[in-house]
Amino acid sequence: MMNHALTVGAMMEHAETFFPKKEVISQTHDKIHRLTYKEIGKRTRCLMSALDRLGIKKGDRVGTLAWNTHRHLEIYFAAPGIGAVLHTINIRLTPEHIAYIINHAEDQILFVDEDILPLVDKLQHHLKTVKAYIVMTDKDELPTNNLPNVYSYEDLIMNGNENYEYIKDIDENDPAGMCYTSATTGKPKGVLYSHRAIALHSYALGLADTAALSESDVAMAVVPQFHVNAWGLPFACTWFGSTQVLPGPRFTPERLASFIEDFRVTVTAGVPTIWLGLLKELEQKEYDVSSLRGVLCGGSAAPIGMIRAFEEKHRIPFFHAYGATETTPLATYSRLKSYQQDISEEEKIIEKTRQGILIPGLEMKVVGDEGEIPWDNETMGELLLRGPWIADSYYNDERSEKAFTDGWFHTGDVVTVDEEGTIKIVDRTSDLIKSGGEWISSVELENVLMAHDAVFEACVVAMPDEKWQERPIACVVLHDNYVDKTSKEELLDFLRPQFAKFWIPDDVLFVEEIPKSSVGKFLKRELRRSVLEHYQAESEEI
C-alpha cells in the first residue's frame, strides 16, 4: 500500500473540493458570518502564506486565545497545514497559568480574540518566546494596545496567497495540535496531538455507532475550541462536510437555543453545566429544537434528571461520551446495542447515564486493588486506555511517569463495567471516599442528590474521620424557590433507600455555589478545603 500520511491539511482540502458550497456559520463580537468551505479554504491558504511570511516553521507552536469562530477554525487547519503546531490556550485559566503555558510551549506567535487582548497586553512582558501577535476582529481598526509586532488577522488574509499549498513533507506522527490540561493542582500539563491521532479520531467521530457526524449534519460545538480541540468536532465536521455553527464569544443559553432554532442544528456537544443552562432557557421560552438528533455530553457525568429532561420532556436524544485531554478526547460513546432496544423507557434513561463502550481502535483495562475487575456492574476500578489517539506522555513534563506506565494511560477515573462492556464513571481516583476499607463513589451520591427536585447542584467530598478513615459530606446548592424550604434530613431520607447505610453522608451543607474549574468541572479539592475550614471554625466556635 502507498506510504500516504494522514494529515490535518488534507481534511480541509477534502472539504474545499467536495463540499465547497457547504457553510460555516460563525458568531463573532460584532456579527454573524456565513462562509462556505470554498471561502474558508481560500482564507486558510491565505493564512498559511501569512504564517510562512511571519517566519513560522515546521514544528513551531502557534498559540490561540480565542472563542469558537470561523477564524479559530481557519487556524485549526492553517497551523498544521504548514507543519506548525496549533496550540489552543484555555482562556479561563489564571493569567499566571496562561503565561506558564505559553512559555512552556514556546509559542512563537499568538492569535488573540479582541476581547482577550487586554489580558495579553498585561501578560506580554512575561511571554518569553512570542514574536508576533495577531488580533482577530471585524473592526477596521485594532483595539488600543501596547503590544509589539501586532497584526490584523483580516489584513493578513487580505494580503495572503489563496493558492498556497499545504505542506506535503510531513510524517503523520508529527505534532499538529497541543492542549494543556486544566489540572486542579500544580501547573497545567501539555499533550501533543499528532496528525495521525486527529485523523483517526475524526474517523471515530464519523462512525455510525458513535457521533455519526455526516455531511447532512448542522453541528454546533459548544465545547470550546480551546478545550481538547472542541472534542475534535471542527476537524471531523470539516472533513465530512457538515455545516458548522460556531457560537462565538461569551455565548448565553439564549444564544444557543436561538441558534438551534434558527440554523436547524442537528447535533451539539458540550459539558453538563452548559446543558443545565440550556434546559433552564427552554423552560423559560418556547424554542423549536426539533431539528436536534443528538445532544452530546462529556467532561463530567450528566445527572439523570438532566437526561430525563432532554429525552422525555424535549424529545431530544441525549448521548454520553467520555474522554480526556490525553485521549484526543473521544474514548467511549454511549449507545444501546440492538438487542437492548426492548428495555423500558426508564431503563433506557438509566442506561444513558453510562459513558458507553469503547470506540473501535482503542483498548481498555479496568484495574482495582486486586488486578483486573470483573464486569459485574458493581466492582470499581481505574480505567486504563491505550491506542493510536491516546497520549504516551505529557510534553516536556516530569509528571508523565505517573500517568503513563506499562504502555497504558492511567485515566484517574474510577469506573464500573457491566457485562456489555459499558463503563460508568463513578469517581476520580482522587475523589473516591474510602470508608472503613470500602469505596464510596462521590459521583453516584451526587447524581442521586441532583435528581431531587430541590437540588440544583450537589458535590460530595471526603472528610477525614478517625474511626472510618474518611466519611462523605454533601454540599448542596438548592434551586432558588427551594431555599429555606428544604432540610438536611429530607435529602438524607431521599438517599437512604438507594444506598448502603455506610454510603449515606454524615452531613449536608447548603452552599451558594460549587467552585468550578475553567471547563465547568467541580473543584473538589477546593471545596474540600472550605468544608474542612467550615468544620474547624464550627469546632472553634464550640
- The residues of the shown chain that bind a copy of itself, judged by CB under 8 A, are 1-6, 10-11, 13-14, 17-19, 21-22, 173, 192-194, 196-197, 199-200, 202-204, 206-209, 212-216, 239-241, 328, 335, 337-339, 357-358, 360-361, 363, 386-392, 407, 409, 420-421
Q: Quick check: helix, strand or coil at residue 334? A: coil
Half-sphere exposure of 124 (CA within 13 A, CB side): 17
d(CA 296, CA 335): 11
**Nearest-5° angle of CA 141, CA 160, CA 65?**
55
| Residue 427 neighbours by CB distance under 10 Å | 25
Q: Using CB atoms within 10 A of its CB, is residue 488 exposed (0-12), middle (13-18) or buried (19+)?
A: middle
d(CA 135, CA 154): 9
Q: What minimum distance in Å lies between the beta carbon of 314 and a copy of itself?
A: 23
d(CA 521, CA 184): 10
CB nearer to a copy of itself: pick between 407 and 436: 407
| SS3 sequence of 396-419 | CCCCHHHHEECCEEEEEEEEEECC
d(CA 424, CA 352): 10
Rg (CA), the chain: 24
CB nearer to a copy of itself: pick between 85 and 91: 85
Q: What minimum distance in Å lies between the beta carbon of 242 and a copy of itself?
A: 9
Q: What minimum distance in Å lies between the beta carbon of 366 and a copy of itself?
A: 12
Q: What minimum distance in Å lies between the beta carbon of 428 and a copy of itself?
A: 22
CB nearer to a copy of itself: pick between 142 and 359: 359
| SS3 sequence of 54-97 | CCCCCCCEEEEECCCCHHHHHHHHHHHHCCCEEEECCCCCCHHH
Residue with cell 506522527: 173
Half-sphere exposure of 141 (CA within 13 A, CB side): 3
| Residue 63 neighbours by CB distance under 10 Å | 29
Residue type, 229: N
Q: What minimum distance in Å lies between the beta carbon of 381 and a copy of itself?
A: 16
CB nearer to a copy of itself: pick between 351 and 446: 351
CB nearer to a copy of itself: pick between 251 and 409: 409
Residues serving a catalytic function are: 181, 326, 434, 439
CB 44, CB 13: distance < 8 Å: no
d(CA 203, CA 389): 11
Q: What minimum distance in Å lies between the beta carbon of 216 and a copy of itself?
A: 4
CB 522, CB 528: distance < 8 Å: no
List, in order, residues 6 or more apart from 430 with CB less than 8 Å away. 412, 524, 525
Q: What minimum distance in Å lies between the beta carbon of 8 and a copy of itself?
A: 12
Residue type, 300: S
d(CA 107, CA 64): 9
Q: What minimum distance in Å lies between the beta carbon of 357 and a copy of itself?
A: 5
Q: What minimum distance in Å lies between the beta carbon of 211 and a copy of itself?
A: 9
d(CA 401, CA 421): 28
Q: What minimum distance in Å lies between the beta carbon of 248 and a copy of itself?
A: 24
Burial state string for 39-61 with b = 16 or more CB within 10 A and e = fewer than 16: bbbbbbbbbbbbbbebebeeebb
Q: Using CB atoms within 10 A of its CB, is residue 479 exposed (0-12), middle (13-18) or buried (19+)?
A: middle
d(CA 58, CA 73): 19
Residue with cell 480574540: 113
Residue type, 79: A
